[in-house]
Structures are given as C-alpha cells and as structure tokens.
Chain A
C-alpha cells in the first residue's frame, strides 16, 4: 500500500515530548518515535500501551516452579527413593525443605529466560535482523517522530509539515513507501 511517511527530527527528548503533546491535541496520530534511550512519559502521549511481558514472566516462573516440583517428586520420591543418612524420602512434603533451593533456582531460570526470549521475539530483535531506524543518529543524540499519511486522513502532507514545524524540529524528511 502506497503511503507517505514524514520523519521529524528533534534534538531534545523534552522538546519532542512537548511536540507530541501538541500534535496529539490537534488530532494527529503519531505512529512511532525512535530515540537513543527511553523517553519517560512518551508512551501515554502517543498511545503506546504498557507491555504485558511482566505477566508472561510470572507465567514462565510458575511453569518453572511446577516443572521443578514434578521433576523432583518423580526423581526423589516416586522413581528411586534414596535413604540418605537415615533420612528416607517417603513423601514430597516431608522432604520439601531440601527441595526449596532448586525450586527457587528453576523458577528464576524459567522466568528470566522465558521473558528474555519472548522480549526478543516480540521486538523482532534477533541476530541478523536489519536495523529499521530512519536515521543513524537516532541511536546517538537525535529523536525522530514518524507520522503516516494513511493514519492521518484529515491532514495533507503539507498541513502535517506545517504543524510539525511549529514544534521545534531540527530536520524534516518525507518518504514515499510502496
């Protein structure tokens, strides 16, 4: 789908944030913001929802805890109950204290790695992926706001540019994508 993308560059995070507020109040949809570091408070302005990765981490952790419990119950109680130092392994509950450290470690292992893998997959940041920032300076000290014409039907490209130029930009670029 052909579309026109406007990239507006700022050289300060606070100026960009003020600019985004102004644009949104005029009904402009800001598609994306590229920045060299997290701009605190930009998400609610441009309508980025809070991530649910935290919930995923919790679920992965619970899974790890369950796997550890099932595993240790099978190894130590069901399959081959060992009598160690006169302390036989009769039931999981009686031996529970000895299983706490590994249950904890395995919970953390699953939560951390599960979340990290989900994070990389959801971001599509994986080895060999191409960089998509519109300007190499956005990983250094520049901040770029992306507007798309297809998402702003009420405005023409010229109108959007005029509004943008009122927000303290330092550079502006327009691109046609097919």
Chain B
C-alpha cells in the first residue's frame, strides 16, 4: 500500500470506512429525489425543449433564421461549438492526465467531470451538424463510397479532421467513463432492493463480480485508455484551432492557436467543473470527499491555464504589430477599439485578470469566491471565441462589405437550449449514476483518509492479533461451526461506534470536579497508559480529560462515570489507569 506524507492534507475527511463511502455515494441515488432536483430538472427541461423547438424551426426553414450575413458567415454557431468543446476538455484531462501523474485528488471529481465532458461534447457536436443546414445528408462527411463519381471527402481539410477528432474524442471518453462505471453499478446492483432498479443496474453493471483477474485487467485498461486519451485531448482542441489557424483570415492565421486553444479549453473546462462541483457537493452532501483542498487544486489549474491564456493574448497582440502585416495589425486594433471593443475587454477582464486573483490563498480557498470566478471565466471564455470568430471576419478587405453580427432569437434560443439540455443530462446523471468513482476512492482511503492519517481509524477494524483473540473467544463458545452449508458469524471485537462528541450534561461536571479541570495546553500523552489508544485519547480529550494527573485521581466511581461517556467496558478499571498514571507521574518526578 502506497503511503502518503502525513503533512499533506487528507483527501477524505472524517472517519470514513469502506462501507461509509458506499453509503454516502449511494444514498442520494436510493432515496427520493429532493424537491430542488425536480425544480432544477423542470427548468432545464423547459429550456432544452425550447432549444429543440428552435433547432426544428431552423432545420425546417434554413440557416437564414440565424443572424449570419455575407460577411459574417460564422458566428454564434461556431462560438458555441468551440465553447462546448472547450468545456468538454476538463473531464478527460482530470481522469487521464491526472491519472498518469498519479494525482489522487482527481478521484473525487473524475467521474462527474467526465460525465460533464461527454454531455458538453454532445452539445458541441450539435452545432456543426445543424450548421450543415441539411442535417439529413450529414453522413456526407464520412468517406463513404458514393454515386457522385468517385468523389471522396477532403482529407486535407481541418474541418474533416474535426469530424474524426470530435467523434473519436466523444466515443473514447464515453468508453473510458463507462468502464469505470461498471464496478460502481455493480455496487448499486448489490444494494438496491426494488426489482425494477435492480434489473436496471444488473443490466448496466454487465455482471461485474470483482474478481482479482478482472481488477488486474481493469487497472491496465484504465491506464492504457488514459495513455491514449492524453494525446487525444490535446489533439482535439488543436484540431479545432486548425479550423481557424490554417485559413488566411487576419486574426485567425496564427501559429500560436493550438497551445493557446488547449490552455483555454482546460481553463474553461475546470471553471465549469467548479461551477457544477460546488453545487453538487452541497446538494449530495459530499463535502467530505470534495472539500476545500480539491477546490484549491482546481483553482491552481485555473490560475496556471488562465496565465497561459493571458500570455497568449498579449503575444498575439505583440506579434500582430511586430509582423508588420497591416491587415493583421488592423484585425487586432479593431478588436480592441472597434465596434466590438466591449466583447474584447469583457474577455480580457474575465480571462486575464480574474484568474490572477487566485494567487491569494484566502481567495482560492474561498468557496463562494471560487463559484463566482468560475462563472466569470465561463462567460469570458465564451466571449473569447466570439471575439476570435466574429471580430476577425466582420471587417474584411473591402470596407463596402463591412458589417455587424446581430443574433436572432433563434441564435439565442439554440444556445440557451443547449445549456438546458446539458443540465438535463447532468441532473439525470447525478440522480441515477454514482457521482463518485467508488472503487477508486476506496483505494485511497488508507493513504489519504483523515482518520487514517491521524491514526484514529477503526479499520482495519482491529489488528490481526485482535481478530485472533476474537476468534478464540467465539471458538470456545461455539464449537460446531461451519459444516456443510452453514454460515458462522465469527464474533467480532469491540463494536465500531461513530466518534461523537460526548453529551454535555451534568455528569461530566461531576466527573471533572472529582478529577480536577485541565485545559488542552498542559496536555499529556495519555497513550503512555496500557490499554489506552489514540482513539480513546481523543474521546477523553473531548470530555475535558487531558492530563495524567486527572486520571491518577480516578476511582471506581469515576471509572463508572467515564463508562457512560466512552464505552470502555470496564477496561479503565481492569488496566488500573489511575495506578499506572500515578506510577508514571512519580517516575517523572524522580
């Protein structure tokens, strides 16, 4: 088992056991959905339906229902496409790149981030499809044998590369996601009682049984898929940027585009993950798994990629002047000072300035601030694509054909509709799917769980020696175990009870008045006593017993009182804690 430095913040807070993790993740699925879920789902569904209506109208009437004109031939459609693809980059980045780097904090968020990726890429894919106008001939983008002579699709074109890149990315992410989901569906399958869900999850879990060989394959498949998905995720947005970079339009014809688009994609993707996670962790009570440290890690990624994006903006600006190409220089002057200046400066403020605030530790650990910034970044990244696409083409070489782009209500409706559909999918996911990668989170419990780091964990429920003791006890009591088809419950040791604050009633006062009060500052190491472990020490501290001197004053009456608060089963008396404490104190004085 890999050990992690004790200095690192634990990734799983509280006293979790394997079973507790299962409970925490499966409860929201098995319980009735809260009313808030229905409200959100209805809003998202209405928006989504409105979007579908707009799309149907567009398909029936034609692309003329968009605000495009002969100068601005690409506007919101491609802006939305690139925006959604960009958002769809965080999931695979988290689950693939961070897997290769062995970043364990990814495990709490990779499942839902990847779901987000898949739904975002669905939304992205919609735009090129409807942009074709005649969607029923969309299959023409595939290299199929046809009757138009031997005319094939153009493999030199970045638009065709896009077809391959996006469809590969979507299908590989889907497979990667689903392979991770199979064992978790099996967990739900083995828990649910109702017949219909049982049947559903049996189907979804493909009969997963958790055999050692299967896990061996599972781990390798995850690793290799991560290995191929890592270059894939970088290639996809590079290829999206080629749509612009290989053209000869000033403002698009830029070699910096691929790395700059990829950084921007990761930037916006993480922002969307933050937006969703901050709500989800609260709504589904997953604060122990997705906590401030995770948010901080993601904010650091946002800060780094935001800085890369900012550097790229400034480089682009400098090069447009330094190149000496007037058209290039004008494209950028026009962006910053032309009729779309407000879009440019909105992009600059949201994407360059706001992530720099993450240098302050206080701010990047503030959940509210993070939530606001994540929305700001999403808006900024939408404007980035709008600025690149529309401002570069709206003033072309002939001033007589200069024009502006005004979105129609169909443009707006389709964009809002995709946001609605995205949330419909995501809410369904959060309702029926395990939102945390159960099997992965369980593997880091012992290295990164809080109670394990502090050595207070009850699991392994007790040491091997304890178990043998327990077995011997039960063996004496019950000699006719396990013959044929019977199951024998081997007596387990001390029951594992949750660590709770002791009730603050009068009895504590009586106990403390008998042994004397102390405060945490003069705390002794109580573990020096035989039969007193770290867990009990914490409990004693909780009720105000910190020093050996206090324990030395204990008598039978105090032991009994103590038993009420902490279930010691008379161990304190048996081990004679008072006597031991006295001896220790005397030895120290000598």
The chain A residues found within 8 Å of chain B, CB to CB, are 11-12, 14-15, 18, 32-43, 46, 48, 50-51, 53-54, 57, 61, 71-72, 75-76, 79-80, 82, 84, 87, 89, 95, 98-99, 101-102, 104-106, 108-109, 111-113, 115-116, 119-120, 122-133, 136-141, 161, 165-166, 168-176
- Cα-based distance from A113 to B482 in the complex (angstroms): 46
Q: Which of B65-73, B209-217, B299-307, B570-578 contacts A (4 or more CB under 8 A)?
A: B209-217
**Contact partners of B217 in chain A: CB under 8 A:** 51, 53, 119, 122-123
Q: Does B161 contact A (CB under 8 A)?
A: yes
Question: Which residue of A has the minimal Cβ distance to B472?
Answer: A165
Q: Does B137 contact A (CB under 8 A)?
A: no
Q: Which of B81-89, B484-492, B521-529, B540-548 contacts A (4 or more CB under 8 A)?
A: B484-492
User: CB distance A120 to B206 under 8 Å?
Assistant: yes
Contact partner of A38 (CB less than 8 A), chosen from B149, B216, B438, is: B216
Q: Does B228 contact A (CB under 8 A)?
A: yes
Question: Which residue of B has the minimal Cβ distance to A51?
Answer: B217
Digitize B176-206: 1 where CB-to-A-CB distance is under 8 Å, 0 elsewhere. 1001001100110111000000000011011
Q: Does B567 contact A (CB under 8 A)?
A: no
Contact partner of A111 (CB less than 8 A), chosen from B149, B208, B228, B492, is: B228
User: CB distance A76 to B152 under 8 Å?
Assistant: yes
Contact partner of B207 (CB less than 8 A), chosen from A32, A38, A131, A166, is: A131
User: CB distance B212 to A46 under 8 Å?
Assistant: yes
Most chain B CB within a 10 A radius of its CB, from A72, A102, A105, A126: A105
- Cα-based distance from A73 to B467 in the complex (angstroms): 68
User: CB distance A123 to B165 under 8 Å?
Assistant: no
Question: Which residue of A has the minimal Cβ distance to B471?
Answer: A165
Q: List 24 A-B contacts (CB under 8 A).
A: A11-B460, A34-B211, A38-B218, A38-B439, A39-B215, A48-B212, A50-B220, A51-B213, A51-B220, A76-B152, A76-B156, A99-B155, A101-B161, A104-B231, A105-B168, A105-B235, A109-B164, A113-B175, A115-B225, A125-B208, A132-B209, A140-B190, A141-B19, A174-B484
- Cα-based distance from A76 to B370 in the complex (angstroms): 50
User: CB distance A108 to B172 under 8 Å?
Assistant: yes
- In the A-B complex, the 7 residue pairs with the closest CB atoms: A129-B207, A141-B18, A136-B190, A12-B460, A168-B467, A38-B215, A125-B206
Most chain A CB within a 10 A radius of its CB, from B17, B209, B490: B209
- A108 and B168 in contact, given A122-B217, A169-B490 (Cβ under 8 angstroms): yes
- Cα-based distance from A129 to B211 in the complex (angstroms): 15
**Contact partners of B171 in chain A: CB under 8 A:** 109, 112-113
Summed over the interface, the residue pairs from A and B with CB atoms below 8 Å come to a total of 248
Q: Does B7 contact A (CB under 8 A)?
A: no
Question: Which residue of B has the minimal Cβ distance to A165?
Answer: B471
User: CB distance A174 to B154 under 8 Å?
Assistant: no
CB distance from A82 to the nearest CB of B (A): 7
CB distance from A16 to the nearest CB of B (A): 10
Q: Does B150 contact A (CB under 8 A)?
A: yes
User: CB distance A175 to B485 under 8 Å?
Assistant: yes
Question: Which residue of B has the minimal Cβ distance to A38?
Answer: B215
User: CB distance B212 to A42 under 8 Å?
Assistant: yes
User: CB distance A161 to B482 under 8 Å?
Assistant: yes
User: CB distance A11 to B461 under 8 Å?
Assistant: yes
**Contact partners of B182 in chain A: CB under 8 A:** 125
Question: Which residue of A has the minimal Cβ distance to B160?
Answer: A102
User: CB distance A82 to B160 under 8 Å?
Assistant: no
Question: Which residue of B has the minimal Cβ distance to A6?
Answer: B482
Most chain B CB within a 10 A radius of its CB, from A36, A43, A119, A161: A36
User: CB distance B164 to A101 under 8 Å?
Assistant: yes
**Contact partners of A123 in chain B: CB under 8 A:** 208, 214, 217
- Cα-based distance from A130 to B484 in the complex (angstroms): 25
- A125 and B485 in contact, given A15-B464, A38-B439, A140-B18 (Cβ under 8 angstroms): no
**Contact partners of B440 in chain A: CB under 8 A:** 37
CB distance from A81 to the nearest CB of B (A): 10
**Contact partners of B160 in chain A: CB under 8 A:** 102
User: CB distance B211 to A32 under 8 Å?
Assistant: yes
**Contact partners of B97 in chain A: CB under 8 A:** none
- Cα-based distance from A132 to B485 in the complex (angstroms): 18
Q: Does B285 contact A (CB under 8 A)?
A: no
User: CB distance B467 to A15 under 8 Å?
Assistant: yes
- Cα-based distance from A85 to B1 in the complex (angstroms): 60
**Contact partners of A33 in chain B: CB under 8 A:** 211-212
**Contact partners of A176 in chain B: CB under 8 A:** 484-485
User: CB distance A141 to B22 under 8 Å?
Assistant: yes
**Contact partners of B439 in chain A: CB under 8 A:** 36-38
Digitize B216-230: 1 where CB-to-A-CB distance is under 8 Å, 0 elsewhere. 111111001100110
**Contact partners of B208 in chain A: CB under 8 A:** 123, 125, 131, 139
**Contact partners of B183 in chain A: CB under 8 A:** 36-37, 139
Knowing that A37-B442, A75-B155, A112-B176 touch, tell me 20 more A-B residue pairs with CB under 8 angstroms: A15-B460, A32-B212, A36-B210, A37-B440, A76-B152, A80-B150, A87-B156, A98-B155, A106-B168, A108-B232, A119-B221, A120-B206, A122-B217, A139-B208, A141-B17, A165-B471, A168-B471, A171-B488, A172-B490, A174-B484
Digitize B483-522: 1 where CB-to-A-CB distance is under 8 Å, 0 elsewhere. 1111111101000000000000000000000000000000
**Contact partners of B482 in chain A: CB under 8 A:** 161, 172-174
**Contact partners of A50 in chain B: CB under 8 A:** 216, 220
- Cα-based distance from A104 to B485 in the complex (angstroms): 56
**Contact partners of A140 in chain B: CB under 8 A:** 18-19, 22, 187, 190-191
Contact partner of A84 (CB less than 8 A), chosen from B19, B153, B154, B215, is: B154
User: CB distance B206 to A129 under 8 Å?
Assistant: yes
- A108 and B487 in contact, given A102-B161, A126-B206 (Cβ under 8 angstroms): no
- Cα-based distance from A116 to B214 in the complex (angstroms): 13
User: CB distance B228 to A126 under 8 Å?
Assistant: no
- A139 and B186 in contact, given A99-B155, A105-B164, A108-B231 (Cβ under 8 angstroms): yes
Q: Does B407 contact A (CB under 8 A)?
A: no
CB distance from A63 to the nearest CB of B (A): 14
**Contact partners of A36 in chain B: CB under 8 A:** 18, 22, 183, 187, 210, 438-439, 442
**Contact partners of A127 in chain B: CB under 8 A:** 203, 206
- Cα-based distance from A170 to B207 in the complex (angstroms): 26
**Contact partners of A72 in chain B: CB under 8 A:** 155
User: CB distance A119 to B179 under 8 Å?
Assistant: yes
Q: Does B36 contact A (CB under 8 A)?
A: no
User: CB distance B459 to A12 under 8 Å?
Assistant: yes
**Contact partners of A42 in chain B: CB under 8 A:** 212
